Amino acid sequence: MNEIQQPKAEVRKTLTNMPAMETPQSVTHQMMPEDEIARRVSKAEEEARRDYKGYRRKVLAFAMLGYLYILFVPLVLALLMAGSIWIMVASKHIYGIGIQIAFGLLIALFAYIRALWVSLTPPAGLELDRSEYPELFELVTQLSEQLKIKVDHILVDDQFNAMVVQHPRLGFFGWYANYVVLGLPLMQSLPPQHFKSVLAHEFGHISGNHGKSNSFIYNQRVRLVQLLVAMHQHSQIALVLLSRFYDWYFPRFSASSLVIAREHEKQADLQAIEVTDNKICGQALTLTEIKGNQLNDIWTSIQNTIKDVDTPPDLVYLQIGEKLAAAPEDKTKSVEKLAEALKRPTDDEDSHPSLKERLQLAKFTQEGMQPETLYDSLPLDLTQVQSAASLYFGKKLPSIIQYCSDQWFNANNMQWKSVHAQIIEAANELKELEEKAETQELSVEELVKVANLLAVKDEQPAALAAFQKVLEREPQHAEARYAVATILLDKDDESGIAMLKELAFQKKEFGLHACAYLREYYEKKRNQDAVRNLDKLWFEYQNIIAMAQAERQSVSKSDLIASHDLPQKTVDLVVEILSKHKGVKEAYLYRKIMEYLPDQKFYVLAIVPGVVNVLPNREEMKLEETLRQEIQFPGTYQITVINSAMKWMKDNCATMPTALIYKRGD
């Protein structure tokens, strides 16, 4: 099932790339208000300034506490079980209740220990072989020997990033394999020496050349989050036994370790400087800022073509690589964004120091950090020289481009077709409503539809006027108020702020959307005081999101259900995919009615296999996983292959004539 998102009034056109991963920050925000996080971070910084070594020892001990508690739980369970058995033996009476208690503790202990061996998913990507990429492996070998680390796997993916991931083969018990994950777009953006600097920085995170305790604390921030999220997903007993302690532990550990994490980032930069030099390291940091913005613009231009073509572009990363190799088209815009980045202070909750701090560490002068001077000093045009991608992938670069393009195409094909179909359908529907408006007055619902259809077509001035017309008829219409306010703020017209604040604090329909948009707007404007003023309300909404996500974790016989209300072209795309799978006999599609965040619709696709088994077998599980990868709906959804214990799902669907969307003819 996909995650709950912050929806907008218009159809979302943002296409997927890779799912977001839990981070120490995202977990912490679910447990502690941001003003409390900021207070703890400030206190930690002050303590570290007074005695950094002493503070590091304190944080190291606190890091170990997280692991010790995981081991403490099974010890307590074992002692309780042994105690209950001893009481029965000592009293020479075997009580039924005593046996039940001992047996229950044994089951809990067994389930918990199994959860400690939880299998964490290794990083995704195409694994590279030394014989096919000798230049790349030579670079990695050189850096790994210099920085004293061991590299087990090298992968390439489609992200604008490079990272080293330590994957525990044995879950809690470690035995880490080091994965180097290289993003193709990043390598298409950088000259070889600058890429080498970025890679040296990433290796520095696990090197320990500048302090093993710092490295341990830095990696602990992510490891424990990944481990506990996985344990919670695989074992309800682990969730019950661990959640109370870690709800207390994580926010405190994340805040206290942030100072160490920032210092570790600086040490990783020093590693990069040692491997290359100050100039290359500073330029690499700045290039990733500029080229990252350039990539965002490229994606925007690609996504804008969705209105005109019904299929995503083929070999998209060939197109992206060609554009990234050239300097940004709009120098003025790029320099302005670089100036903003240089002014941006270190975020209270970010482990990375600000760009300005990192350039100062690389000994860039104040004059050298003037935005236009810095911009002009960079190797932004790679059209006449080798990029890191062309050097290190060599003759295999076309196959890497093909792999990453295929990954993106497969992830976005259905959603692209669905959005394109919605745009075409919107144009036809809009035309019908406009013709109707010539002869009769439209209802409020029809006016809202007109406004949304104009928004789908990106006709923002007309959409604004249409939503304002809705408010003339119904001044408190939540969706129209939200839409008007956000369109105004998109134009930097702050008259929309009051309307969003009112929606946010009413905690009714579109309240979450309003609060999220206000925070995003204030953060973009670097108005931290305004962000902090929303902290308490945002924390309350996080609880609502948590309940909404819990509500969407399962389906049951008692669910209230309704027709799916999806466009017919979207349903046709689903049917086309289902028809290619011989294991699918029938398919039902419906919508589960939600109590929390009801405007975030939740769809259920129930698959009836050729043979309904008592329990899901391997083939059905594989079918379910394949369909999850191939099929995407707007909103949140669940795809389930029905077994004999779930026949009630088919019976429920039978009450809605529109639910049956596919039935195999043979």
Question: What pLDDT does 171 receive?
Answer: 64
Distances (CA, A) of 90 to 78, 86, 106, 207, 215: 18, 6, 20, 55, 51
Whether 573 and 632 share a structural domain: yes
Question: What pLDDT does 237 receive?
Answer: 57
Instruction: Confirm whether 48 is domain-assigned.
Output: no
pLDDT surpassing 60 at residue 6: no
Instruction: Confirm whether 581 is domain-assigned.
Output: yes
Instruction: Confirm whether 617 is domain-assigned.
Output: yes
Please report which confidence band the pLDDT of residue 233 belongs to, taking 50, 70 and 90 as the band edges.
low
Highest mean pLDDT (candidates 399-403, 435-439, 593-597): 399-403
Please report which confidence band the pLDDT of residue 14 belongs to, taking 50, 70 and 90 as the band edges.
very low
Q: Mean pLDDT, to the nearest integer, of 126-134?
A: 94
Whether 337 and 296 share a structural domain: yes
Question: What pLDDT does 508 receive?
Answer: 77
Distance CA 94, CA 88 (A): 5
Residue 501 CB neighbours (<10 A): 17
Question: What pLDDT does 43 receive?
Answer: 84
Percent residues over pLDDT 70 in the chain: 85
Whether 453 and 540 share a structural domain: yes
Q: Which residue shows structure tokens 């990029």?
A: 387
Instruction: Confirm whether 650 is domain-assigned.
Output: yes
Please report which confidence band the pLDDT of residue 467 belongs to, taking 50, 70 and 90 as the band edges.
very high
Residue 392 CB neighbours (<10 A): 27
Whether 527 and 588 share a structural domain: no
Whether 571 and 547 share a structural domain: no
Six-digit token pair at 469? 């017309």
What DSSP character marks residue 585?
E
Closest to 641 (Cα-Cα) out of 609, 617, 663: 609
Question: What pLDDT does 190 receive?
Answer: 96
pLDDT surpassing 70 at residue 26: no
Instruction: Confirm whether 373 is domain-assigned.
Output: yes
Which residue among 384, 410, 429 closes a domain? 384
Q: What is the pTM of this model?
A: 0.72
Give the type of residue at 167. Answer: H
Q: What is the mean pLDDT of the chain?
A: 82
Whether 526 and 578 share a structural domain: no
In terms of Cβ atoms closer than 10 Å to its own Cβ (0-12, 13-18, 19+), residue 35 is middle
What DSSP character marks residue 580?
T
CATH of the domain at 581: 3.30.70.1350
- Contact indicator for 60, 261 with CB cutoff of 8 Å: no
Question: What pLDDT does 45 receive?
Answer: 81
Closest to 338 (Cα-Cα) out of 405, 266, 276, 288: 288
Whether 319 and 373 share a structural domain: yes
Residues linked to residue 126 through DSSP beta bridges, in sequence order: 156
Task: Calculate ∠ Cα 165-168-169, nearest 5°.
Answer: 125
pLDDT surpassing 70 at residue 222: no
Instruction: Confirm whether 237 is domain-assigned.
Output: no
Looking at the structure of the chain, the number of domains it has is 3
Lowest mean pLDDT across 19-23, 108-112, 273-277, 328-332: 19-23
Question: What pLDDT does 180 receive?
Answer: 94
Question: What pLDDT does 548 receive?
Answer: 83
In terms of Cβ atoms closer than 10 Å to its own Cβ (0-12, 13-18, 19+), residue 230 is buried
**Taking the mean position of all CA atoms in its chain, how far away is CA 343?**
27
Q: Mean pLDDT, to the nearest integer, of 34-47?
A: 77
Distance CA 216, CA 202 (A): 14
Which residue among 551, 573, 607 closes a domain? 551
Structural domain that includes position 583: 561-663
Closest to 378 (Cα-Cα) out of 320, 331, 319: 331
Per-residue pLDDT tens over the stretch 140-199: 999 999 988 899 999 999 999 999 888 877 766 677 889 999 999 999 999 999 999 999
Lowest mean pLDDT across 151-165, 277-291, 518-532, 609-623: 609-623
Whether 482 and 545 share a structural domain: yes
- Contact indicator for 663, 572 with CB cutoff of 8 Å: no
Per-residue pLDDT tens over the stretch 625-659: 888 878 877 678 888 888 777 788 888 888 888 89
Question: What pLDDT does 12 receive?
Answer: 26
Per-residue pLDDT tens over the stretch 365-384: 988 899 999 999 999 999 88
What DSSP character marks residue 325?
H
Question: What pLDDT does 18 receive?
Answer: 26
Please report which confidence band the pLDDT of residue 221 belongs to, taking 50, 70 and 90 as the band edges.
low
Whether 547 and 567 share a structural domain: no
Of residues 259 and 5, more confidence is placed in 259
Which residue among 362, 384, 406 closes a domain? 384
Distance CA 499, CA 656 (A): 39
- Give me the helices (H) in 96-152, please: 96-116, 134-146
Residue 152 CB neighbours (<10 A): 12
pLDDT surpassing 80 at residue 218: no
Lowest mean pLDDT across 276-285, 451-460, 582-591: 451-460
pLDDT surpassing 90 at residue 400: yes
pLDDT surpassing 60 at residue 491: yes
Whether 544 and 447 share a structural domain: yes
Whether 628 and 531 share a structural domain: no
Whether 605 and 509 share a structural domain: no
Instruction: Confirm whether 614 is domain-assigned.
Output: yes
Please report which confidence band the pLDDT of residue 215 belongs to, taking 50, 70 and 90 as the band edges.
low
Instruction: Confirm whether 195 is domain-assigned.
Output: no
Q: CA dihedral in degrees (73, 78, 84, 88; nearest 10)?
A: 180
